[in-house]
Amino acid sequence: MASPFSGALQLTDLDDFIGPSQDCIKPVKVDKRLGSGVAKIHIEDDGSYFQVGHDGGTRKLEKAKISLDDCLACSGCVTSAETVLITQQSHEELRKVLDANKTVAPGQQRLVVISVSPQSRASLAARFQLNPTDTARKLTTFFKKLGAHYVFDTAFSRNFSLLESQREFVRRFRGQADSKQALPVLTSACPGWICYAEKTHGTLLIPHLSTARSPQQVMGSLVKDFFAQQQRLTPDKIYHVTVMPCYDKKLEASRPDFFSQEHQTRDVDCVVTTAEEHLRCGFIAGEVFKLLQEEGVLLSELEPTPLDSLCSSGSAQEPTSHQGGGSGGYLEHVFRHAAQELFGVHITEVTYRPLRNKDFQEVTLEREGQVLLHFAMAYGFRNIQNLVQKLKRGRCPYHYVEVMACPAGCLNGGGQLKAPDTADKELLQHVERLYSMVRTEVPEDVPGVQELYKCWLQGEGSEQAGRLLHTSYHAVEKATSGLSIRW
Ligand code: SF4
């Protein structure tokens, strides 16, 4: 059974695979008062362990637990944390919050908000033989029956991610001579790729990463900042769940960068994936499909309910999407915008040229034989490794690269519905067709987006927009010093 994680985070069963750099290591805190120098640890048969002092005195040490934060701070892999993921971010956690809400007065409840990704919607549409719009509306009915208060579409937050990516690229292209933020700009919406970049080539790659937040994390800002203010609630009174195509998104939501110390809450509290998955540890990870099964609900039989909208003029009543493929359309949007903004060229159609395989393609803008813009998409870790080698040798010809960890991109994410082996390709093609059936939007023309730039973000390029729509990255040290336990 294949792992639900992207290639960056897997150990086995891969044909598109980066090996882990080390075993799962968790540093153990020792009590220095028991004597200086080398600590001696005694481990009992039941797994509990004690620090033994020089005078023979012992002190029981706290039982080690591996959290998602530990996984992000470690330069190894995270596969062995699957069980942690299940307990920390799962439909069980969502259920606990919904159940707790039933036992308290309405004023004491946490407001439950669920944001559904277009990729998950397409996968479920394929499973239940529905069109994507019906799927979105029936899912809204289902989540509201469960006790959710609002259901949003992350295609709306993707508008901000795309707009900020466009502006960032133009800024970096214009300032490339003296900019510390080097070209090519590498997209950052895929947490599997970010995990790999930070852990393996942090110094080389981080200056290239786009700082624009992913659609999931922009939605986190929207819900825990703008929407919380609208509802006159503090962010911790909202429980925000996203439905995503991969398990790596759980890691993204767990990044310390997206945790509010002030309110002790995350922008996204819980990530559930689309489909049922059997994990190597023996569990069946219950996600949206599992929730439906547990409730005995057939999605196709539910009445539809319109999606909620985050703002008065927003168009999220029906699901929307963007041009440029199932991973968000970063390359296409940035390419069109840059061609117009930098060279006054209006692009009617973006033409892709396949390189080594269909997951490594390039797009160019040329004038009189001169290449003005040179963009590429690199999906899957074989192509990512190739890209990294080019960067290492200083021979990367691109201005911008859309990088995704999964071969074929997000519609093929590890949390999506899988068909029995031979039918996987056909299923993916079907999901791609369903995904492309949804009405696409141009981010600049979405009235709700412009309204929010004005009233919430205080304008494009403002400090507020920078704080809520961008993030930063951190190289992870390879060496683990001090006393460590190998799991
Ligand atoms: Fe997740 Fe998409 Fe990245 Fe795959 S390509 S790990 S689905 S964000």
The finding on whether 409 has its CB within 6 A of some atom of ligand 1 is yes
Instruction: List, edge to edge, every strand of the sheet that includes 58-60.
Output: 40-43, 49-52, 58-60
| % residues pLDDT > 90 (the chain) | 63
Of the two residues 478 and 204, the one the predictor is more confident about is: 204
**pLDDT reading at 416 higher than 90:** no
Axis-axis angle for helices 288-295, 118-128 (nearest 10): 40
CB 378 near ligand 1, within 6 Å: no
Check residues 343 and 18 and name the one with the higher pLDDT: 343
Is the CB of 245 inside a 6 Å radius of any atom of ligand 1? yes
How many A from CA of 49 to the centre of ligand 1? 39
pLDDT tier for residue 285 given thresholds of 50, 70 and 90: very low
Centre of ligand 1 to C-alpha 454, Å, is 31
pLDDT, greater one: 288 or 345: 345
**Tens digit of each residue's pLDDT (9 = 90 or more) over 180-201:** 568 999 999 999 999 889 988 9
More confident: 97 or 49: 97
Q: Considering the chain, what is the average pLDDT of its residues?
A: 84
Q: What confidence tier does 65 reach under pLDDT thresholds 50, 70, 90?
A: low
- The rounded Å distance from CA 32 to ligand 1 centre is 43
Q: Over range 354-376, report the average pLDDT.
A: 96
CA atoms within 13 A on the CB side of 207: 10
Specify the DSSP element, H or E, that contains 375.
strand 370-379
pLDDT value at residue 11: 37
Residue 8 predicted with pLDDT over 70: no
Q: Is the CB of 84 under 6 A from ligand 1?
A: no
Distance in Å, CA 67 to ligand 1 centroid:
21
Residue 484 has pLDDT above 90, yes or no: no
- Nearest atom, ligand 1, residue 245 CA: 7
Ligand 1 pocket, residue 74 CB under 6 Å: no
HSE-CB of 298 using CA atoms within 13 angstroms: 5
Distance CA 41, CA 348 (A): 67
Q: How far is the CA of 26 from the centre of ligand 1 (A)?
A: 26
pLDDT of residue 4: 55
- Asked if the model's pLDDT at residue 383 lies above 90, the reply is yes
212 half-sphere exposure, CB direction, 13 A CA radius: 28
pLDDT of 301 > 50? The answer is yes
The ligand 1 atom nearest the CA atom of 5: 6
What would the mean pLDDT of 343-371 be, rounded to a whole number? 96
Residue 52 is predicted with a pLDDT of: 79
Q: Please name the residue whose Cα sits nearest to atom 3 of ligand 1.
A: 190
Tell how far the Cα of 414 is from the centroid of ligand 1, in angstroms: 8
